Structure 1
Amino acid sequence: MSPWRANRREPLSEPLWLEWLALGGLLVFGTWLLGVRGVWALLLHADPTGLTLVIVAVFACSTAWCGSRAKALQAQRQALEASLRPGSPGQGWAHDYWLACRQPGGDAATALEVLLEHSHGPHGTAWWVNGIQLKLGLLGKVIGFCILALNIGQLQSLDASQSSELLKSLTTGLGVALLTTMVGLVANILLGLQLTRLDRYADRLVADCQRHGLNQRPQHHQAGVP
């Protein structure tokens, strides 16, 4: 049995898009449940700076981007499988990579860099955004403690008449500090899981492009692919 026939039976496809849809469904359900329990109202009321809302908005937009990226990567995986069929004209990043490697005087290293830019390039910005969520949470922590320190510093004396005002300032400052940090950490963890899955999927896609490009080169010539 030829190496091509053995590889043809290998299950290449992974339901990355369906995995993200399942995760998205869980996130939507969790959002609805938190809203019913009044958690969102509590978070927004306890954070006068609005950083909690900013972190949630950044996470929602980033998660939507991960969904579109998962769909694009799965489409490229399907294009790779289609390009391995006999007589297929070829399409997608894998086919472009194979063509660049087979060109007279083609530079395989440059072709690989282009393939990596397609498969992993946008993820760098997404990881930066993921770090921004954590930094926004830490910024909220600093702001909360600043509010706490300023309110305490404005008190002339700590008598019984000012105890309620002191307690209110403590609650506001600590609420901002703790809530924004918590939301930033949770958003950072959830988005990090999605980006790690995308990176691993893209790693395998690149590895399969290289492996099949080496093994199937004669077969593609027989199929009439230049």
Structure 2
Amino acid sequence: MRHAKTPYTLVLQWLLLFGILSFISWLFWDQGLLQSALLSDPSHITLIILLLFVLATTHCATRALFLSHENSALDQIIQFTTANPPGPGSNRWWIENKLPVKDSLSGQFIAGIAAMRGSLQVHQPNQDSHLLAQVMAERLRGQHEVGWFICGLLVKLGLLGTVIGFVMMLAPVAELKSFDLSDIQGLLQRMTTGMGVALNTTLMGLSCSMLLGMQYLMLDRAADRLVAEAVEFSETRLLKVADKEQ
């Protein structure tokens, strides 16, 4: 049973998460932590990680809006079907002429189910309906694979920054020819820079990966719920509504 809810709940949830992230980012910027991490990284890996995170977060916003539109379309289909059920044997004409938002993924899925079965009163399971559900799930979640790839890429970039930082930290040791106080001070300064690069890139990569993973997990769960609700409605409730008209 589908519960009544705000059609754009997913967008509101994403905006709440984005607001928290924006506040934390502003707090770090106000304290000078972000500027310090960016300016102290000569490899610019920290900047690359931040840019990828911003681009992927923008993609999450577009996907949240898309899934909210699809959720609203399914709500319209359910409400219209409950108020205006199809008559016996008229499912094809009813879907082609009466079903709202036919261009939505939910509308295409329900239309495909009815077209394959030929009659909404047939209760035999059909393997093709499972294939249609998989196609719908792929269209809803397919683009999220890019986001999960970026999540893994951020971690790898952080580890790459760690390696580069250690190389920067240890390289001056090989160049040390004497143990004068001035040479040791320069060595410690360069080693500190390398250690800073290693720690900053690792911390930035892990943090951005976890925060981005939270967003794509939220989108994946919303897509799964949408597919489950569309399948439940087409396989049970729509058939029961049609049965009442017999």
Report the TM-score, using the length of structure 1 for normalisation. 0.88
Given candidates 200, 210, 233, the residue that maps to 1:179 is 200
Alignment partner, residue 21 of structure 2: 27
**Secondary structure of residue in 2 paired with 1:84:** helix
Alignment partner, residue 3 of structure 1: none
For 1:48 and 1:220, how far apart are their aligned partners in 2?
Answer: 66
**How many Å apart are 1:120 and its aligned residue?**
1.1
**Secondary structure of residue in 1 paired with 2:74:** helix
**How many Å apart are 1:199 and its aligned residue?**
1.0
Alignment partner, residue 237 of structure 2: 216
For 1:158 and 1:195, how far apart are their aligned partners in 2?
Answer: 53
Report % sequence identity: 34
Alignment partner, residue 101 of structure 1: 113
For 1:163 and 1:144, how far apart are their aligned partners in 2?
Answer: 19
Q: Write out aligned runs for 1:165-176 (5 A).
A: 165-176=186-197
* 119-128 or 84-93, larger mean C-alpha shift: 84-93
For 1:212 and 1:142, how far apart are their aligned partners in 2?
Answer: 53
* 89-98 or 102-111, larger mean C-alpha shift: 102-111
Structure 1 segments, 4+ long, off by >6 Å, are none
Alignment partner, residue 136 of structure 1: 157
The alignment covers a number of residue pairs equal to 217
**How many Å apart are 1:212 and its aligned residue?**
0.5
**How many Å apart are 1:219 and its aligned residue?**
6.2
Report the TM-score, using the length of structure 2 for normalisation. 0.81
Task: Check whether the contact 1:13–1:77 (CA below 8 A) recurs between aligned residues.
Answer: no
**How many Å apart are 1:217 and its aligned residue?**
3.0
Gaps of 5+ in 1: 1-6
Given candidates 48, 61, 72, the residue that maps to 1:67 is 61
For 1:215 and 1:12, how far apart are their aligned partners in 2?
Answer: 21
**How many Å apart are 1:12 and its aligned residue?**
5.1
* 185-194 or 159-168, larger mean C-alpha shift: 159-168
Q: Deviations over 1:48-102 (max 9, x none)?
A: 1111111111111111111111111111111111101233623221121111122
Gaps of 5+ in 2: 85-97, 118-125
Given candidates 77, 80, 101, the residue that maps to 2:74 is 80
Amino acid at match of 2:186: E
For 2:39 and 2:135, how far apart are their aligned partners in 1?
Answer: 48
Alignment partner, residue 4 of structure 2: 11
